[in-house]
Structure 1
């Protein structure tokens, strides 16, 4: 007397894996459930072989972008663009200030009004002290 299976085990697979399993079962002329039962019950790999197979599966898995890395990259790009814009604005201001300074130097300075006294070099009161020096007594 055969006991009919009544318990369910859900196994998640990729669409490609599901197709491969279905094709294997069809090629053997058995159901997918029977193929899975036989495969698992006859599976006798060591724990090391299972670990290695898991590592190989992870290495082969397509790399999906990490959402956090994508968000951080976007923030960094926006910050770099902001910094570049600020640097360009500062460079423009500095160039305008340098241009204005050059124009100011290029203009001849206005002559001071002539009050009749001419000052000769060395006639300055600079450096004279109140206690003697150059002052007239």
Structure 2
């Protein structure tokens, strides 16, 4: 697969020369920070409040680097769960349980089974992100 630097090199060819330096500085300033959802105040995962509901399993979901499903399993106050949602599989090791697989805890995936939606509220851009304690 393409790494970030390979993607940047491909895009860089299309950036006018006078903008190369500001774009490079901006990217270095950003580091590994994700930018796609930074302006979102809330996301809904799994389905809409109205209309057809989602039924199935979700796993390995990240939102701006946060493990949203793990946060839901840990009853994080920033996560609001609607409908019938339950944890399937192992509970995240942060809760004090020992993983039953040979994978390190940070590699384990939380799976949530849901028939409606989960929502997470985060702060808007230019404010500090929610902290996990």
The structure that is strand-richer by fraction is 2
If the length of structure 1 is used for normalisation, what is the TM-score? 0.17
- If asked which structure has higher relative contact order (CA below 8 Å, sep 6+), I would say 2
If the length of structure 2 is used for normalisation, what is the TM-score? 0.17
The structure that is helix-richer by fraction is 1
